[in-house]
Structure 1
Amino acid sequence: MAAPVAAANAVATADATTQTTPTHATPVTRVSTAQANEEPAQALLKALGTTLEPQLLVQALTHRSFSHEHPGAPNYERLEFLGDAVLELVATETLFAAHPDMSEGQLAKMRAKAVSEESLSAIAREKLHVSPYILLGKGEMEQHGNEKSSILCDIVESLIGATFISHGIDEARRVVHHLVDDTLAEVATEGPALDWKTSLEVKAHQHGMGDPRYRMAISGPEYAQIFTAEALIGDDDKVYGTGTGTSKRKAQLAAAEQAWRALGD
């Protein structure tokens, strides 16, 4: 794994016509033949639709496992925190304006689906192709962390946060629209299964099974904890779904979705 300085050089956003990718920057690779003649960071920023300073871009792509192995290298968690707030604001105002007849509950469910781990990780894979750019610790790399939905979701939010830091709310809003407008349009047509925990509770009641419960477990080192949730339904505590995530909420939503599908119609 290259040191943070090498990684910064590898994703530098200076003039792409005069800058080439350092051969020692192994964390950054080209992602397709179409991008073979582009400096990798420029391909990513083109997909994102904005510009970022090199050091901020590196931070937005740095997982805490990399920071743990390279003390002093800032990770993306603060940017993710900020980006999550910006994303929710833009999603909320967009849905509010587009659906004047919908209730608060309906809008909340659509927003939850639009900014869910499933939706954001799909954006990371299909629009940004960001996996090759993520800086991970050795252990996380061995577990193919750059393909984990939870990490991909975090990266989308951190890039939004970095955009806000660099350019302010107007540019951040534009980037959010660029990334999620398609998803915001889709969720309006997907029916009631937008909030998986609520949907599972409704379906469990329809089956006369009572309220779902969630059993939690935590694994991994403190700097890279993984939460696992099991969705239990019925008096016998049968497990109908299991999910993992980087937070309790994300794990429970994933477990609820699996359980909802397991119950059938």
Structure 2
Amino acid sequence: MLEALGTTISPDLLVQALTHRSFAHEHPGVPHYERLEFLGDAVLELVATETLFARHPDKSEGELAKMRARAVSEDSLSAIAKKKLHVGPYILLGHGESEQGGAEKNSILCDIVESLIGATFLEHGIDEARAVVHRLIDETLDEVATEGPALDWKTSLTVKAHKLGKGEPVYHMEVSGPEYAQVFTARVSLGEDGTVIGEGRGSSKRKAQLAAAEAGWKTLG
């Protein structure tokens, strides 16, 4: 895992970066990764933004924002966690979360990537953290320039619905699960019809709506 990151992280900080809140809840006093995730998210956004800005001088602010959102999305980062870092076996989870397959959940894997970036920043500073981010997401940053509607499924669904003479997408939300591992479910319909054309789940309202919009876009053909 550290070899794939291309850096070193002190043992204590590395353990924290891999510790989910559910494990910390069962072991009082053990720090979990959420503060590191918060820090890593900011570093990731910065590096992705400056890279896209430099590589695509012809793109508008809106286009760059969509490319960045796709590059640092839960789907993209969880794929990196699985395929590049193979981090699943190292994540410290509470008993219940572990039984529910937490080590394979995209939301947790995404968090871990961000927390490792945050830990790198704390240990070595911005230059080393920037290098780690480039190792992890440069391929993704190249790919997002060619993804078309996948860059922003909600906008793409709205545009397609309008072209087909249908109503505005309406999203209906539900939340389930414990506070430390909430699951958001979104269902999207068009206008006043009420017929659900897409459903999606995620660790946030936005992620669930994006997944539902993608399903809805594909339903419309």
Q: Name the TM tier (shorter chain).
A: over 0.9
How many residue pairs match? The answer is: 221
Alignment correspondent of 2:192: 235
Moved over 4 A (4+): none
1:206 is aligned, of 163, 183, 189, to 163
1:160 aligned onto 2:117: yes
Q: Post-superposition shift, 1:223?
A: 2.1
Percent of matched pairs sharing the same residue: 76
1:93 aligned onto 2:93: no
1:253 is aligned, of 180, 203, 210, to 210
Q: Post-superposition shift, 1:260?
A: 1.5
Is the 1:68–1:223 contact (alpha carbons within 8 Å) kept by the matching residues of 2?
A: no
**Paired residue secondary structure (1:47):** helix
**Paired residue secondary structure (1:218):** strand
**Paired residue secondary structure (1:86):** helix
- Using the alignment, how far apart are the partners of 1:225 and 1:246 within structure 2? 6
Is the 1:56–1:162 contact (alpha carbons within 8 Å) kept by the matching residues of 2?
A: yes
State the structure with more CA Rg: 1
Greater Cα offset, 224-233 or 47-56: 224-233
Alignment correspondent of 1:194: 151
- Using the alignment, how far apart are the partners of 2:143 and 2:195 within structure 1? 33
Alignment correspondent of 1:62: 19
Alignment correspondent of 2:178: 221
TM-score by length of 2: 0.96
For the aligned residue pairs, the C-alpha RMSD in angstroms reads 1.2
TM-score by length of 1: 0.81
- Which structure shows the higher helix fraction? 2
Q: Post-superposition shift, 1:74?
A: 1.2
* One-letter code aligned to 2:62: G
1:1-265 equivalences under 5 Å are 44-264=1-221
- Using the alignment, how far apart are the partners of 1:198 and 1:144 within structure 2? 32
Give 5+ residue unaligned stretches, structure 1. 1-43
**Paired residue secondary structure (1:155):** helix
Give 5+ residue unaligned stretches, structure 2. none
Q: 1:174-203 CA distances to partner (integer Å, 9 max, x unpaired)?
A: 000000000000111222430111111111
